[in-house]
Chains A and B, each alone.
Chain A
Amino acid sequence: MDFGPHLLLAILEGAVGAAVLALTALGLSLVFGVMRVVNVAHGEFFMVGAVVAWFVADTVAGHPALGFTAALIIAPVVAGLIAVLVDKLVLKQVEYDPEATIVGTIGVLYILQQTALMTYGPEPRPVEAPFSTRIPLPWFEWGENGFAMFYPWGLSITSYKLFVICAAAAVLVAFWLIMSRTRYGLIMRATQLDRETALAFGIPVSRVYSIVFGIGAGLAALAAVLIVPIQQAYYLMGAEPLLLSFIVVIIGGLGSVRGTVVAALLIGMSDGIISVFLSPTLSKIIATLLVALVLVFRPQGLFGTKAA
């Protein structure tokens, strides 16, 4: 393949990664923004989503689309309920003390991961995509015969990958509408701005916290269900999305939702594009160092305005 089509392919692959990353990081950012809690177990909720999706798809007979649709609903709900439980049993008990919540969620990380190892097992397993038609993409070029359109070999995307991009975009828009246009969004934003005043105005802050923590985990699980027909469900799969989400939330500014989405697109796309051309380990080293330096020299993030 020539450089042009190769780059287009890398951009498309990057877009799929960016879409999933945006959902995952949004969950982490929401939880940090509203509750000021750094959820180290966030990646494990992603893993739980993928593993539950496998169980559901394995149980539901018939067309793969049936099982996938069921997983799309069940997995986020299961992850959300586990998160609500974690909030009530652990986070609320330590009164959301930053240090204690980090240590506690590290504990939750190992509990979820090792429980998955005991029940689901150590081997990665795939979930069948509901549909997966190969769509060849055209490429335009000025050749000897003037302007020409042709289909280079290997330049294609599956219909499922397009669906992932669209679905993630739809969820992001829906999330934005809920946050900015509905009463629930208003309550969440009020809690984020000033917990005490919100409490004084009769907002059930502790219930809002539980729900926000549940939604955060649910978003990660939803992202995992979307990606699991492309990657496989594996009990150690939580580390990568956790690290990338951290990077996104930090670059986007801690707790800023708009910054998070922009940063997710930026990081996801460049991760996809760079790893096509560079060694993935080297690009990860550069990325982690850059993020650490951003936190050191611009703690409000590249797009944020207020200090974290």
Chain B
Amino acid sequence: MSISAKSFALHAGLIAVLFALGFLLPTYHQGNLARIMVLATYAVGYNVLFGYTGLLSLGHAMFFAAGMYGLGLAMHLGGLPPIPAFIIGLIAAAALSTIVALLALRTIGVAFMIVTLMFSQAVFLTILYLGTYTGGDEGFVIAQSSRQILGYDLTHPLTRYMAALFVFSAALLITARMMQASFGQVLIGVRENEERTTMLGYDVFRHKLASVIISGTISGAAGATYALLFGYVGATFGSVQYSIFPLLWVLLGGAGTTIGPLVGAVFMFYLIDYSSGLTNAYMLIAGVVLVLLTLFARAGIVGEIRKRWVTWLP
């Protein structure tokens, strides 16, 4: 089998397994996995920029929040149905990522990380400042009756699971296809050696710009989906912690691998879920995992598997 056939089989198989799990899992884990798939979509978006283009952003929560508040406010205050509201969420995330990219891409390295962190912090503070509309710290709930698409009730556990699977699969397949195309190969070129990519005649800035916008828009789609499926919009999702999470998931699963974001999100979600039963200091686990990853497994779970055993992994 050729490599592209193998990776197609891997992705199709993964989606089939997730589909089957929707019917097999008990309700508690079914709900968890639905949430994980939405968060993994966020991680897939983050991976486009961090894993493939090599740009470390510390402010992706602003894109997640843009999608979330774009959809949430359109439904809550504007009274729009889910699909137009979802599109507004996507537009909000795409517009914000374009503005941020045009400014932040003038910097490199550490400055890029700090600039993204600062912009995200400004967005987070703006959400708090506009508390009259956004509900500030407490956020707001999207009415259960309005969360219906084409007659399907998104608050029903199985429907919600399938909707999450649909969004995750779309993000996974789009990015996997993108990375096989020449556009994705140029992004990897930028990550590996920016000067050489420039010298080969590629417009590095435009590729980076496109990468930030794609990454930000997928993150925004995840935020909008989260608000739609779980019915809650809150400022926490725009805080620094939610910029650190996708970094953590992608690093743990494997940066620059297609299935790494999902693997990382699953592991981290259950680690935190398990430890929050033991102590209220559950973020300790996140800290320890981050330090251990930097020290011993820079490639993450899927990355290490690819390095040692299965070299064809996409």
User: Could you tell me which A residues sit within 8 Å of B by CB distance?
Assistant: 38, 90, 93-94, 98-100, 102-104, 106-115, 117-118, 122, 239, 243, 246, 250, 279, 281-282, 284-285, 288-289, 291-293, 295-297, 299, 308
Contact status B287-A110, CB under 8 Å: yes
Q: In the complex, what distance in Å separates the CA atom of A308 from the CA atom of B110?
A: 10
Q: List 21 A-B contacts (CB under 8 A).
A: A38-B110, A94-B294, A103-B251, A104-B294, A104-B295, A106-B290, A107-B290, A107-B293, A110-B283, A111-B288, A111-B291, A114-B281, A117-B281, A279-B129, A281-B128, A285-B129, A288-B119, A288-B122, A288-B125, A289-B118, A292-B122
Interface centre among B113, B240, B288, B291 (most CB of A within 10 A): B291
B115's partner among A100, A292, A308 (CB-CB below 8 A) is A292
Q: Smallest Cβ distance from B133 to chain A, in angstroms?
A: 14
Q: In the complex, what distance in Å separates the CA atom of A291 from the CA atom of B119?
A: 9
B308 sits at the interface (CB 8 A): no
Contact status A296-B295, CB under 8 Å: no
With A102-B110, A115-B281 known as contacts, the answer to whether A295 contacts B286 (CB < 8 A) is no
Q: In the complex, what distance in Å separates the CA atom of A98 from the CA atom of B125?
A: 28
Main secondary structure of the interface of B (DSSP, over half): helix
User: Could you tell me which B residues sit within 8 Å of A by CB distance?
Assistant: 56, 58, 103-104, 106-107, 109-111, 113-115, 117-119, 121-122, 125-126, 128-129, 240, 244, 247, 251, 279-284, 286-295, 298
Instruction: Specify which chain B residues have a CB less than 8 angstroms from the CB of A93 in the assembled complex.
Output: 295
Name the residue on A nearest B112 (C-beta).
A295
With A103-B293, A108-B291, A292-B119 known as contacts, the answer to whether A98 contacts B129 (CB < 8 A) is no
Contact status A299-B125, CB under 8 Å: no
Q: In the complex, what distance in Å separates the CA atom of A115 from the CA atom of B122?
A: 28
Interface centre among B117, B290, B292 (most CB of A within 10 A): B290
With A103-B247, A110-B283, A285-B129 known as contacts, the answer to whether A98 contacts B114 (CB < 8 A) is no
Instruction: Specify which chain A residues have a CB less than 8 angstroms from the CB of B104 in the assembled complex.
Output: 292, 296
Name the residue on A nearest B106 (C-beta).
A296
Q: In the complex, what distance in Å separates the CA atom of A102 from the CA atom of B112?
A: 12
